[in-house]
Structure 1
Amino acid sequence: MSIFDETLTMNNGLKIPKMALGIWEIPDDQTPKAVEEGKLRTIGVASFEKEDLDNLMQNSSTKSAVNQILVHIGETPMNLIDYIQGNDIVVEAFSPIAHGAPLNDTKIEKMADKYGVTVPQLCIRYDWQLNCVVLPKSANPAHMKSNAEIDFVISDEDMDKLKKFTPVDYGKSGVFPVFGGKM
């Protein structure tokens, strides 16, 4: 029996895989078959580096639709972003507000003031202008509303400044090797 044979019926009658509630892993050998059979529309990956994506694309019939990676002011891996987008894969930016690190940075505060926005709005708009899907985390309705109000444009000059911003030091957890060519 496949992991996909167990389903839950939603209130609207739609059946979904029982394990599809949240983030879940599928055995590598079942993924392409599940896509071919229509049990999954596509797959997404997280924290895949170039080598990991190359490995997936060379060794699987299933192409990822999205790669969720760490992207924010102070962590802008442009080579990786360009590579992902160049392969028609969507970049989803997680931690767009850098775990709060920019909230007390005077340089970022001044730039946000220049645009008449909050620091979180500047951070979210920055990722948006990099053509990333941006999903800021918040349980506060006022923050959710404010986070969606990014109808302004950061100048090219300011985008360049933000791209060169001092990186946030995540220590050893800053790199998350996935397969590293060992699929």
Structure 2
Amino acid sequence: MDDLKNIIENGNVKPMVNQIKCYIGNLSTGTIEFCQNNSILVEGYSPLATGGILEDKRIQKIAEKYGKSIPQVAIRYLLEKDILPLPKSVHEKYISENAKVDFSITQEDMEELDRL
């Protein structure tokens, strides 16, 4: 975050996007808040924790509640936090599935995911 502050205070061009690793259980909340307060888009890469969250039973339970997959919940979670998710896949099936995030996660479920 110090680097961002330095760029904003001393640079000629204000950063418009900050790409950081973001997924359920790993949010750099201070950096995210700083960016959002300074109109810098946060782009969250690795929203599936490089596959690390795909077997999480707690997230699976929430996904089942919405009739969605864990990746869809993980992507929607970031969108609910005004973070642009950057999922990666080379499989057409998963690319298509990752785009189907036209649902909302309740505040209660967001809080549960925040605790992970």
Q: Where do 5+ consecutive residues of structure 2 fail to align?
A: none
Partner residue, 1:113: 64
Q: Does 1:87 align with 2:74?
A: no
List per-residue Cα deviations over 1:52-72 (Å, max 9, x = no partner). Answer: 110111111111110001111
List per-residue Cα deviations over 1:63-83 (Å, max 9, x = no partner). Answer: 111000111101012222111
Q: Larger RCO: Structure 1 or Structure 2 (Cα < 8 Å, ≥ 6 residues apart)?
A: 2
List per-residue Cα deviations over 1:25-48 (Å, max 9, x = no partner). Answer: xxxxxxxxxxxxxxxxxxxxxxxx
Q: Which has the larger radius of gyration?
A: 1
Runs (4+) of structure 1 exceeding 4 A deviation are: none
Deviation at 1:135, TM superposition (A): 1.5
Q: State the distance in 2 between where 1:74 and 1:161 align.
A: 10
Task: Give secondary structure in 2 for the equivalent of 1:79.
Answer: helix
Task: Give secondary structure in 1 for the equivalent of 2:20.
Answer: strand
Partner residue, 2:16: 65
| Aligned partner of 1:98 among 49, 64, 78 | 49
Q: What TM-score, normalized by structure 2, do the two folds share?
A: 0.96
Q: State the distance in 1 between where 2:106 and 2:28 align.
A: 19
| Aligned partner of 1:132 among 83, 86, 107 | 83
Q: What TM-score, normalized by structure 1, do the two folds share?
A: 0.62
Task: Give secondary structure in 1 for the equivalent of 2:25.
Answer: coil
Letter matched to residue 101 of structure 1: G
Task: Give secondary structure in 2 for the equivalent of 1:68.
Answer: strand
Letter matched to residue 95 of structure 1: S
Q: 1 or 2, which has the higher helix percentage? A: 2
Q: State the distance in 2 between where 1:142 and 1:118 align.
A: 13
Report matched runs for 1:140-179 at 5 Å: 140-165=91-116
Query: Size of the alignment, in residue pairs?
Result: 116
Alignment RMSD = 0.8
Task: Give secondary structure in 2 for the equivalent of 1:91.
Answer: strand
Q: Where do 5+ consecutive residues of structure 1 fail to align?
A: 1-49, 166-183
Q: State the distance in 1 between where 2:47 and 2:21 align.
A: 8
